Amino acid sequence: MSITSEISEFLQKGRMNNVKELVKKALEDGVSAKEILNEGLISGMMVVGEKFKNNQVYVPEVLIAARAMNAGVELLKPALVSEGVEPVGKAVVCTVKGDLHDIGKNLVKMMLEGVGIECIDLGVDVSGEQVVEAVKQSGAKVICLSALLTTTMTSQKEIIDALTAAGIRDSVRVMVGGAPVTQAYADEIGADAYTPDAASAAQKALEFFA
């Protein structure tokens, strides 16, 4: 088995220390940071994301895999910068105004990062003005809005309205999600995409950057 496949396997099992050791070893052996990232870390995270989507693994497994992934990425960062590997693109991620649930939002962020998308995480209880400001400052092209309450789904529309009012609606793709959100609701509020889970969100975001 190649060292990148081993990294992928350990990542899927959430074995952070093994991932760190093997990432260091791969770098020492002259494997490029890009290859370690794509063939090891990202490919492992894609497997976890797919299993999560199919209910073969659950939130804790995703969180420990993501922790292993983040540890591996940290070690790769200096080499990635010197190899000139650009992130796929930038996305703003947040839980909308009035809503404090952040577990799903964090999973979305991790999955996006897992496929190479740089995330600007605005946290929870985020207003349209904050999103507009973040988009202007970062140049992000994708926005992921999480809402877990029927009472806060409307904040997703308010954020889309704020983007329109600021004249930047057409320069971004707005993705919505969260337990009470549906495709029909996404269509109604003029979102560009609805995805039911974090893995699909990452896949959809990749399409928007293609």
Interface residues with ligand B1M (CB under 6 A)? Answer: 59, 98-105, 107-108, 144-146, 148-151, 175-180, 195, 197-198, 201
Longest dimension (CA), the chain: 54
> In the complex with ligand B1M, which residue's Cβ is closer, 40 or 204?
204
Whose Cβ is closer to ligand B1M: residue 6's or residue 161's? 161
Give 73 or 198: the residue with its C-beta nearer to ligand B1M: 198
Q: CA 112, CA 114: separation in Å to the nearest integer?
A: 5
Q: Which amino acid is at 180?
A: P
Residue number with CB closer to ligand B1M (108 or 120): 108
Least Å distance, CB 166 to ligand B1M, is 20
d(CA 99, CA 22): 39
Least distance from C-beta 161 to ligand B1M, angstroms?
Answer: 18
d(CA 132, CA 150): 23
Closest to ligand B1M by CB, 27 or 47: 47
Q: How far is the CB of 200 from ligand B1M (least distance, A)?
A: 7
| CB of residue 46 to ligand B1M, shortest distance in Å | 14
Minimum CB distance to ligand B1M, residue 48 (Å): 11
